[in-house]
Amino acid sequence: MFTLPETVLSILSRLESAGHAAYAVGGAVRDLIRGATPHDWDLTTSARPEEVMAIFADETVVPTGLQHGTVTLVIDHIPYEITTFRGEIGYTDHRRPDAVEFLDSIEADLARRDFTAGAIAYSPARGLCDPFGGVADVKAGVLRAVGDPMTRFAEDGLRVLRALRFASACGFTIEEKTARALHEGKHLIAPVAAERIYSELTRTLCGAGVEAVLLSYGDVIAEAIPELIPLFGFPQNTSYHDRDVWAHTVATVAAIEPDPVLRWTMLLHDVAKPACHYVDERGTAHFKTHPEKGAPIADGILARLKAERVTREEATALIYLHDIDLPDDRAGVHRLLVKLGKERTLRLLAVKEADLAGKSPYGRTHGRDVILPRVREIAKSLLAEGAPLSVRDLAVSGTDLLALGLAGRQVGDTLTRLLEEVIDGTPNERNPLLALARA
Ligand code: ATP
Ligand code: MG
């Protein structure tokens, strides 16, 4: 019925030949049903972990979670998680079961899984096992808890965030009772480790369905990032905006490519707007200095969530820069590229484009950033031409200048001046630059 990769077929059939039941389960089966390509394979079997280890003794088998019944088989550098059918007992810490028990039935294993879309097993030998109507839910694009949603979220608060992640990544709608339990049980994410919160939120932010998820579940996300609460419903009485700060924020997240740095930047770019808000005599709202004030707040949020250092630093830098006035002449754009470097400049343009896309029709056509298409064109052509972005890219080097008799700090200062000259139109070629250096 489904086409499984050769390796998966052979793992399943080796387990079956040894007398055990074995299935593919979880995200891979869900993805096969929805016509997406599985990115990894979770397998489940009646074989106990030691039996799995013995059956694959000739392969690389890593006992990644023996007490939970999980071993990882690595074939051609691809990991396959094989987990013994199991049940879970007691969730005193609302995060992890106190104990697991190995079981003989696939149905009982599927019952411990969080959402119907992931509680489907398939094997070529045994067909589909779908006790909770997962296939119908996947086909309808519905995310539904297995069993009573509130009970399942109380067992493990991580599932609250997994729900948002699946809804966003698969573009699923969350079934009503499950949705209500997410709002009512949002505090259940409290015991979830910061790294896990960050990783689920990042995957939520990068999903195709992020807009709907953020608009409906901002309150849940605010459990992890209370700094967002002032944004909800905060009005922006300027002609440039027709949405409140949160709705604008959400539109900008959806408008930028699904890259973690860029999506986090957009989520937090206006975090200080409410705090910077004032209304002038004419009744127009202003939010001066919100980028400078927002950058350290974003830095604090990303530090608390234990984001990777590069993501945190880059997002913070982009938030600080997001409202700067851009130049729209060649030399100005060239100077920007020199100052920020290629990567950060291109990201800043993407951030500004997304920010603009989230504004009112008037704002999109009248703001300072209407020049963006021209700025991007110029940046593109400068990069295509290989315009020098640092003194190292100049057609002359420090050695050339030493040969001309310059010494010490003169060398560096002259190279910097030459780069300025090239930005202002001198060709980046040896002779004109050496002539200038002599002069
Ligand atoms: P993907 O791998 O595409 O992100 P997935 O559904 O495979 O999605 P995983 O996190 O890989 O998700 O987990 C594999 C399966 O294990 C899930 O489909 C689910 O059935 C079960 N599972 C994982 N974590 C939990 C949890 N915290 N609570 C209940 N079931 C879980
Ligand atoms: Mg998976």
**Residue-wise pLDDT tens digits, 163-180:** 999 999 999 999 999 999
141-224 has which CATH code?
1.10.110.30
| Atom number, ligand 1, closest to the C-alpha of residue 38 | 3
- Report CA(164)–ligand 2 centroid distance (Å): 16
Q: What is the pLDDT of residue 367?
A: 86
- Name which residue sits closest to atom 5 of ligand 1, judged by CA: 27
Return d(Cα 439, Cα 429) in angstroms, integer.
Answer: 16
Q: How far apart are CA 137 and CA 119, in angstroms?
A: 11
In angstroms, what is the span from residue 40 Cα to ligand 2's centroid? 6
Q: Report d(CA 172, CA 243) in Å as an integer.
A: 25
Write the residue with the smallest CA distance to atom 31 of ligand 1: 113
- Read off the pLDDT of each residue in 433-437 and give the average, rounded to a whole number: 95
Residue 365 has pLDDT above 80, yes or no: yes
Q: From the CA of 159, how far away is ligand 1's center (Å)?
A: 9
Give the per-residue SS3 of 163-208: HHHHHHHHCCEECHHHHHHHHHCHHHHCCCCHHHHHHHHHHHHCCC
User: Which pair of structure tokens corresponds to residue 55?
Assistant: 């059956």
Q: Over 90: is that where the pLDDT of 2 sits?
A: no
Is the per-residue pLDDT at 1 higher than 80? no
Instruction: Decide if pLDDT at 439 tops 90.
Output: no
Selection from 46, 35, 30 nearest residue 128 by Cα: 30
149-153, 198-202, 220-224, 281-285, range with the lowest pLDDT = 281-285
Q: What is the pLDDT of residue 197?
A: 98
Q: Which ligand is nearest to the CA of 29?
A: 1
- The pLDDT assigned to 147 comes to 98
Atom of ligand 1 nearest to the CA of 118: 18
Which pLDDT score, from 0 to 100, does residue 284 have?
85
Q: Calculate how far, in angstroms, residue 102's C-alpha sits from the geometric centre of ligand 2.
A: 20
Residues 379-386: what's their mean pLDDT? Answer: 98
Mean predicted confidence (pLDDT) in 44-70: 95
Output Rg (C-alpha) for the chain, integer angstroms.
28
What region does 90 belong to: left with phi over 0, alpha with psi -120 to 50, or beta? left
In this structure, the residues whose C-beta lies within 6 A of any atom of ligand 1 are 26-27, 40, 42, 113-114, 118-119, 156, 158-159
CATH number of the structural domain 1-137:
3.30.460.10
Residue among 189, 172, 249, 176 nearest 224 (CA): 189
Share of residues in the chain with pLDDT > 70 (%) = 100
pLDDT tens digits for 405-431?
A: 999 999 999 999 999 999 999 999 999
For a substitution probing ligand 1, which of 156, 162, 164, 202 has the most ligand atoms within 8 Å of its CB? 162
pLDDT for 238 equals: 87
- Gap from CA of 87 to ligand 2 centroid (Å): 18
Task: Over range 361-380, report the average pLDDT.
Answer: 95
Mean pLDDT, range 278-295, rounded to an integer: 93
Average pLDDT, the chain: 96
Average pLDDT value for residue range 28-37? 96
For residues 182 and 153, the answer to whether their CB atoms sit within 8 Å is: yes
To test the pocket of ligand 1, the residue of 8, 84, 114, 116 to mutate (highest count of ligand atoms within 8 Å of its CB) is: 114
Taking the centre of ligand 1 as the mean of its atom positions, its distance from the CA of residue 26, in whole angstroms, is 6
Band (285; pLDDT cuts 50, 70, 90) = confident
Is there a contact between 164 and 213 (Cβ–Cβ < 8 Å)?
yes
Q: What is the pLDDT of residue 237?
A: 82
Choice from 40, 42, 91, 137 to test ligand 1 binding pocket (greatest atom count within 8 A of CB): 42
Report the distance separating Cα 71 and Cα 160, nearest Å: 26
Based on DSSP, count helices (H) and strands (E) in the chain, helices before strands: 22, 13
Structure confidence at residue 283 (pLDDT): 85
Mean pLDDT, range 139-147, rounded to an integer: 98
Please count the CA atoms within 13 angstroms of the CA of 434 that sit on its side-chain side: 13
Average pLDDT over residues 238-245: 92
* Distance between Cα 255 and ligand 1 center (Å): 28
